[in-house]
Amino acid sequence: MIERKPDIFLNGKGICNLCVEYDRTIVSYVKPLETDFINIVNKYKGKYKYDCLVMCSGGKDSTSALYYMKKRYRLNVLAFTFDHGFETKEALANVRNAVEILDVEFMYFKSNYMHGMFKKILESGSKAVVCHPCSIWYMDLAFDIANRYEIPMIVAGWTKGQSTKQPIMSRCGCNTHLPEFKAMGEATVDFLNREVKNMPEYKDFPRSMDEVLKRANNKHKAIVISPLWFLPFGPETYVEVIKKELKWKTPKVSYPKGSTNCLLNFISVYNSMKYFGYTHYHVEMSKLIREGIITREEAISSLKSNYNKKLLNSVAKKLNFQFS
C-alpha cells in the first residue's frame, strides 16, 4: 500500500499503520475453520426450496464458490448472474459451463439501469469508485431475489483478502470505516448524496450498503457468506479444480491478472489509480500477503496494468463518454 496521509502512513521503520494494526489484532484473532462454515450451512440446509443463492459473475472466485456449495457441501443452489451490460463473453461462457455441468438452476438478469449513474460518475469528474454503487445495486438485487424465493443464505465469492475477519459478512462490501477505504468511501457517499439525488430514475436507489441491509432485514433476513473464507486452501488449488471440472477459462486481458472482472472494471481501476494511487484490489492483495496466502512478488505481478486508453474508450463508448 502507498502512503496516503492521513489514512495510510509509514512509521520510522517504514512499516504502514495497516500492518501495525494487523500485527496488534492478529494475536486475538481466531481463524475461521471449515467446521464453522459447515455448522452455519447445517443451520439453514433443507428448510426451503433453495438452500442458497450464489452470486456468480464467471470469475474464478464466484465460480469456485458455486462449485463448492454444490459439490462439497451438497446444497440445493440457485445460481444468479447480474449483467449491467459490461460482462465479458468469457465470463458469461464460464457461468454457462458451470451451471450446465453442475446441473443447478440458474437466473440471468441483464439491465442497463446503472448506465446513467456510471456515465454521471465519468462526466462529473467524481472520485467515486465505480464498483461501489454497482455493489450496492447488485446486493440489493440479491436480497430481493432471496426474499422472493425465501432463500436463507446469499453466497459470494469473496476471498480471504476481502474478509472482515468475521464468519458472516455484515456490510456486504468494502468496509468504508477502515483507513484504506476511507477516502474512497467518502467520495462515493458524496456522489450518491450530491449527484444521484437529482436523477429521477434513481430516486429509490439505496444511498449506502447499510441502507441495503436495513431494507433487506425489513423483508426477509438472509445471511451473506463466502465459503472461500473457510476452505483450508487458497486460489492456487480451487482455480485448478474449476479449470479441470467446469472448463473455466481466464480472459486474455484482465485486471488483476488472471481474474474475470467486467469490462467496466478497467475504468474503475483507471480512476482509482488516478485519484487515490491504489485500488480495492491492492487492499485485497495486501491482506492476502499479511495472511501468508500469497507473496508480495505475486501480488505486484497480478496488479501490473496490462491495458491502455484505447481499451478504456472502447468500454466507455457504451456510455457515450471518451477519455481525453
CATH 3.40.50.620 fits 32-254, yes or no: yes
- The full set of domain ranges for the chain reads 32-254
302, 131 contact by CB (below 8 A): no
Question: In this model, does residue 314 exceed pLDDT 90?
Answer: yes
Q: What pLDDT band is residue 109 in, cutting at 50, 70 and 90?
A: very high
Query: Which stretch of 40-54, 149-163, 189-203 has the lowest confidence by average pLDDT?
Result: 149-163
Tens digit of each residue's pLDDT (9 = 90 or more) over 254-303: 899 888 889 999 999 999 999 999 998 998 888 888 888 889 999 999 99
C-alpha cell at 53: 443463492
Tens digit of each residue's pLDDT (9 = 90 or more) over 25-47: 776 667 778 999 999 999 999 99
Mean per-residue pLDDT, 66-80: 97
- How many Å apart are CA 48 and CA 311, to the nearest integer? 45
Query: Which stretch of 25-39, 55-69, 93-107, 282-296 has the lowest confidence by average pLDDT?
Result: 25-39
Three-state secondary structure of the chain = CCCECCCECECCCCCEHHHHHHHHHHHHCCCCCHHHHHHHHHHHCCCCCCCEEEECCCCHHHHHHHHHHHHHCCCCEEEEEEECCCCCHHHHHHHHHHHHHHCCEEEEEECCCCHHHHHHHHHHCCCCCCHHHHHHHHHHHHHHHHHHCCCCEEECCCCCCCCCCCCCECCCCCCCCCHHHHHHHHHHHHHHHHCHHHCHHHCCCCCCHHHHHHHHHHHCCCEEECHHHCCCCCHHHHHHHHHHHHCCCCCCCCCCCCCCCCCHHHHHHHHHHHHCCCCHHHHHHHHHHHCCCCCHHHHHHHCCCCCCHHHHHHHHHHHCCCCC
Mean per-residue pLDDT, 181-205: 93
Q: What pLDDT band is residue 210 in, cutting at 50, 70 and 90?
A: confident
- How many Å apart are CA 230 and CA 243, to the nearest integer? 21
The separation between the first and the last C-alpha atoms of the chain, rounded to the nearest angstrom, is: 28
Which residue is associated with the grid cell 481466531?
30
C-alpha cell at 197: 439525488
